[in-house]
A = this chain, B = another copy of it.
Amino acid sequence: MTTFYNEHSKVFVSVDCIIFGFENKKLKLLIGKRKMDPGRGSWSLYGGFVEKDESLDDAANRVLYQLTGLKDIYMKQVGAFGAIDRDPGERVISIAYCALINVKDYDKGLLEAHEVEWVNLEELPDLYSDHNDMVDKAITLLRRRVSSEPLSFNLLPDMFTLTQLQHVYEAILGEAIDKRNFRKKIKAVEYIEKTDFVDKVTSKRGAALYRFNKDAYLADSTFKL
């Protein structure tokens, strides 16, 4: 069995997580300063090596769980990055994954424990190695998918106002959206359901809270926004 394999060389494989959050009308990224060589001290995505007993997806979920304590998170593979010298220490090929989480679900204590921070996407610093390329590709994918897949809800609490939802779209697409046209489209989507709850935090008048009905969506998986 160990036949032709031996002629070839093995390499390290890691996963890097591009973790998007949304707060205050802005897309945010969870990044930290590297605590190891090479690249100690530079801003970096959070990552980890793929171990023998886990698939790539499993590794990405494990790394995300280690950092955030969250499971069953929206995660998509962004792509494999494999320039020869992308890691100055050893040959390491890395698979980038993109995760969308609700910032409110994230335990603030962990921010300090792991020494990571939420940084506005627009103010993203230079990151370690090719991590900026990973982020760029992730955003490109996100923009492409946000209109054809119900992604956006992953960045919000279970219940949200239409204004919040609109802000998510605006942040991802990077452009203003007309309020009336947006709401018209939303009303046509049957699995975005109005609840009887009202949010009085951001407005004096109060805004109706909506909910994404995942089961209804799965029953009729058409999405267009």
Contacts and interface: CB of A to CB of B under 8 A. Distances in A.
Contacts of A54: 84
Interface in A1-57: 1-5, 8-13, 36-38, 49-57
B36 A93 contact: no
B37 A56 contact: no
A55 B2 CA distance: 25
A83 interface: yes
B49 A8 contact: yes
Of A12, A54, A57, the most chain B CB neighbours within 10 A belong to A12
A80 B60 CA distance: 12
B91 A52 contact: yes
Number of this chain's copies in the assembly equals 2
A69 interface: no
Interface residues of A, number: 38
A56 B2 contact: no
A49 B9 CA distance: 8
30 contacts: A1-B37, A1-B89, A2-B89, A2-B90, A3-B89, A5-B90, A8-B12, A8-B49, A8-B51, A9-B52, A10-B10, A10-B11, A11-B11, A11-B13, A11-B52, A13-B13, A13-B93, A52-B91, A55-B83, A55-B84, A56-B80, A56-B81, A56-B82, A59-B82, A77-B79, A77-B80, A79-B79, A79-B80, A80-B80, A80-B95
